[in-house]
Amino acid sequence: MTVSVRVPTILRTYTGGVAVVTTQPGTVREVIKNLDADYPGIGGRLIDDSGQLRRFVNVYVGDEDVRLAQGLETDVPAGTQVSVIPAVAGG
């Protein structure tokens, strides 16, 4: 079983224009690492030099914002969808 990852437009240059890709389950950190193995460079767009999620990147596991869960250590079970979304202003 795999997990699917929804890729925002600005990162689709790494995935050849594909919006949803699949990879192996694990923690969010591991999923991003797996993703980077398949699409080299994409991990560095999400994680900063100190190994933390960049502050304008929102990652959801299913409906849950990982910052409201265990951050990069949040579990991503097989069959779930991860969404990566740039932070946006409100109204």
Partner 1 sequence: MSCRECGHTCALGSQHACDQCFGPLEVAYSLPRISRKAIESGPLSMWRYASLLPVPPDVAARPNLDPGWTRLIRADQLAKTLGMRELWIKDERGNPTHSFKDRVVGVALAAALELGFKVLACPSTGNLANAVAAAAARAGIRSVVLIPADLEPQKVLGTAVYGCCLVAVRGSYDDANRLASELADERADWAFVNVNVRPYYAEGSKTIGFEIAEQLGWRLPEQIVVPVASGAQLVKIDKAFGELVSTGLVADSPYRVFGAQASGCNPVATAFRAGEDVVRPVRPATIAKSLAIGNPADGPYVLDVVRRTGGVVADVSDDDLAAAILLLAATEGVFAETAGGVTLAVLRQLLREGQIDPDARTVIINSGDGLKTPDAVAARIAAPEPIPATLEAFEALEPSLRQVTLREAGKL
Cβ proximity to partner 1: between 66 and 76 the closer is 66
Residues 6+ apart with CB under 8 A from 56: 86, 87
56, 87 contact by CB (below 8 A)? yes
Binder of partner 1 out of 6, 18, 20, 62 (CB under 8 A): 6
Site residues for partner 1, 54-83, by CB under 8 A, read 54-58, 60, 63, 65, 67-68, 83
Torsion angles phi and psi, residue 8, rounded to 5: -70, 160
Can you tell me which of 2, 18, 19, 73 binds partner 1, judged by CB under 8 A? 19
Enter the tokens of residue 50.
């100190």
Give Cβ neighbours of residue 8 (< 8 Å, ≥ 6 apart).
84, 85, 86
If the CB atoms of residues 1 and 87 are measured against partner 1, the closer one turns out to be 87
Least distance from partner 1 to the Cβ atom of residue 30, Å: 20
Q: How many residues bind partner 1 (CB under 8 A)?
A: 28
